[in-house]
Structure 1
């Protein structure tokens, strides 16, 4: 539809109709490169329209207010002149007055958007998602009223390169914040109302702190913030409700805050945080009575801690994943009386493994242990129901006589020295494993 320059009265059909398109709920204008003007009747058209999307219409201007009283979702993608509306507070206000039920606003690929009139947003608007608006800045315009009347609950900012600071006054009520690929962002102050915060691939963030007072945050995820050295100070006091903490690819992060992590923390995932893992002696995880899931993905650069009592793990852990932590030993797992799932990956030093003391363990996965040669006869706990062994090229024996009677699922793959022993009806181990309900060797059910 590249030749269309105007949407005129003919678009609405018979003008005698009091409410044109009276059943339409979803309207999309897309790839109309020459479309400049949309004639609005203002006579009750689109009476139940809930979603409007304008995509790749670069010449369209919305200077005339659109009266869409039932509209809930408004999406603008790659339409620069439509984006101008968001810079002009007066024009934006006039548009919003005709969208009395608007709940969600999406803006993408609109480089004309340089600012955003947060203060005049309607109370119905709960979700804003802005992405790839390269010139957008979060600044308080001269004469702009206070932002205290905002009701935004969910804000996403993605690939907005002019944003260098996020302060609480822009989003005091936002419960969910997602900020990604904002490459010039250097500081983030967490609003007290925030419950879930995700900061991804903002590699220049150096300061992450709580704005003021106790927050309601339950989930914090940080990925690819390569200059960030510290988590917020006084986390136990200021983030007491935090239950989930995910740290990915933060190579400069050195330690947890003084005083440790919040006591209510339940899930902790640490991946590609070299300095942090190598300083694990000061984690004091044994102080976290609610921690049930711990995952650590490392590069094998850790060294043995001579005085290792501070590397003890809390007995509350139920699910544990350890990847390429060179100094891991059975001794570190001795206190895990509640552990039900254990995944061990990429351990290049271990030659033997014994886990008989984990009396609650139900699922065990061992993957990529190049030097593992054997599992002793007493290696496996009697509670085990699932055993998965993968990519252990030197593993040459299993504790077949010590296999738990509770085992129901046995899966072994890429273990060439074991494969002849497990051969159907002929292998040496076959009589000892045939009773297990599910047996899978190199992906083949036996």
Structure 2
């Protein structure tokens, strides 16, 4: 937390850069001292504006004459005096900046409306605007008039119910409101119900649209967004209708949007993430029937989806993330032979019965498996090896018994292996040097069944070893009869060795024996 500015700051009359100006209640500089700093430029953030006594003091700051000021942030904290809407509006009125301003941020403003200068068309250089936590505002300023505006973020307007005509131009006839806007964000608008779209020609250029935490928003999204590349809608459970027509969209993320009608998506879609949806298998298949370019698919808590999609998706999908889905027919995952990254997080998901065949995915580079209770074995598949696999993480798979090396498991390029809370796992693979010849990082946490490292030793390229909460494994290190198996002195690349002790393994017992391991 920045301290308030000391008194007398205004005497530094040649000061050109002052990034943060913090106002206080009593002993520090007042806002009128800014008026003496006539050469300020670049970025300036003024916080503590709730302490400004009156509009006259704000006027003395003379921001309107700061021709070199490019970025301005105006921040109100929580007021001790209750409703200060009129006072804050009068103060903000007098904090009007020079027309050269490019970026404006207003946070915590308590007025019910904005002064006329916010959104005035004469601010033709403004490219970025953020309005945050203006909880008493009942309408938005006419921001559509800002001809150069590229980035607009609006959040925390808990008193706003409708975004209407005033948003586009305050009654002025504009052929092209928001003619330069590229990124538009609405967040945490708890009472927002309706977004009135002024014209099909509004928002001709946006590439990103993000709407989140707007639980009462029911209608309506813009109909046409021809240049949109990324659309994110989260926690808008009342939002109905259809998605905008966006033929260029590459990334779509929908979370908790149960009322939206999901039609077939554009063929150029590359990333799709769906969470908390009531869609079923046929709806998902219909959505994806044209998506021949899809690279990444994420399904989270989609409880009515019983099967992975077949149509088009497996052809080139590179990343698949599944969390908490009641998938019953999971054999279709074997069709996804182009996968490079796979993450499965439990719920009712059971990955391919008891065995996960790494060799079925020749291009796989990264695998994370969490909370999959039926998983018992990690193995190869028909003699095939996952030649590209670099990272393997297995957590909370309580029935995992072993790595099957009898079917020829060999992961030649694996550099990182993470095992956590696999309580039934009894041992690491024998011949670990040949199974994981490139392993550099080994992490084992809370795997109480693992008693020792393989008798043939650890992979010679190991750089980091981390062991935590695995008493038997640590016990084998402490035991004079078993400690030679570790042979840490034979690991020339080892730079990091760490362990977490349980109550059974006292520090004064471990340290002398640890030193012997490196002899």
Equivalent of residue 228 in structure 1, options 279, 292, 308: 279
Measured in 2, the distance between the counterparts of 1:287 and 1:10 equals 63
Measured in 2, the distance between the counterparts of 1:37 and 1:294 equals 56
Measured in 2, the distance between the counterparts of 1:13 and 1:362 equals 59
Equivalent of residue 365 in structure 2, options 318, 323, 336: 318
- For residues 77-96 of structure 1, the aligned pairs below 5 Å read 77-79=132-134, 83-85=138-140, 92=142, 96=144
CA RMSD of aligned residues (A): 3.9
- 1:49/1:71 contact within 8 Å kept: yes
Q: 1:77 to 1:83 in 2, by over 3 A?
A: farther
Measured in 2, the distance between the counterparts of 1:368 and 1:431 equals 22
- 1:5/1:37 contact within 8 Å kept: no
Pick which of 166-175 and 21-30 moved more.
166-175
**Structure 2 counterpart of 1:298:** 346
**Structure 2 counterpart of 1:121:** 177
Equivalent of residue 74 in structure 2, options 28, 41, 63: 28
Q: 1:310 to 1:228 in 2, by over 3 A?
A: farther
Q: 1:125 to 1:182 in 2, by over 3 A?
A: same
Measured in 2, the distance between the counterparts of 1:148 and 1:13 equals 37
- 3-state SS of paired residue (2:262): strand
Shift of 1:295: 1.0
Measured in 1, the distance between the counterparts of 2:458 and 2:360 equals 27
Gaps of 5+ in 1: 87-91
Equivalent of residue 307 in structure 2, options 255, 276, 298: 255
Q: 1:215 to 1:123 in 2, by over 3 A?
A: farther
- 1:165/1:186 contact within 8 Å kept: yes
Q: Does 1 or 2 have the higher relative contact order (CA < 8 Å, sep 6+)?
A: 1
Per the normalisation by structure 1, the TM-score is 0.79
Equivalent of residue 157 in structure 1, options 211, 218, 222: 211
**Structure 2 counterpart of 1:89:** none
- For residues 170-319 of structure 1, the aligned pairs below 5 Å read 170-186=224-240, 189=243, 191-200=246-255, 202=256, 204-205=258-259, 207-210=261-264, 214-223=266-275, 225-230=276-281, 232-233=284-285, 238-259=290-311, 261-273=313-325, 275-276=326-327, 278-281=328-331, 283-289=332-338, 291-299=339-347, 302=350, 305=353, 313-319=360-366
Deviations 1:74-117 (A, max 9, x none): 2223436755245xxxxx2xx643x3322222222322341245
- 3-state SS of paired residue (2:243): strand
- 2:465/2:497 contact within 8 Å kept: yes
- 2:314/2:337 contact within 8 Å kept: yes
- 3-state SS of paired residue (2:322): strand
Equivalent of residue 378 in structure 1, options 411, 428, 431: 431
Per the normalisation by structure 2, the TM-score is 0.69
Equivalent of residue 406 in structure 1, options 457, 461, 470: 461
- 3-state SS of paired residue (1:210): coil
Shift of 1:419: 0.9
Q: 1:392 to 1:157 in 2, by over 3 A?
A: same
Shift of 1:417: 0.9
- 1:165/1:187 contact within 8 Å kept: yes
- How many aligned positions are there? 424
Measured in 1, the distance between the counterparts of 2:285 and 2:421 equals 38
Q: Is 1:329 the counterpart of 2:342 in the alignment?
A: no
Q: 1:147 to 1:400 in 2, by over 3 A?
A: farther
- 3-state SS of paired residue (2:438): coil
Shift of 1:260: 5.0
Q: 1:423 to 1:387 in 2, by over 3 A?
A: same
- 3-state SS of paired residue (1:344): strand
Measured in 2, the distance between the counterparts of 1:48 and 1:7 equals 21
Gaps of 5+ in 2: 1-48, 78-83, 169-175, 502-510, 515-519
- 1:193/1:215 contact within 8 Å kept: no
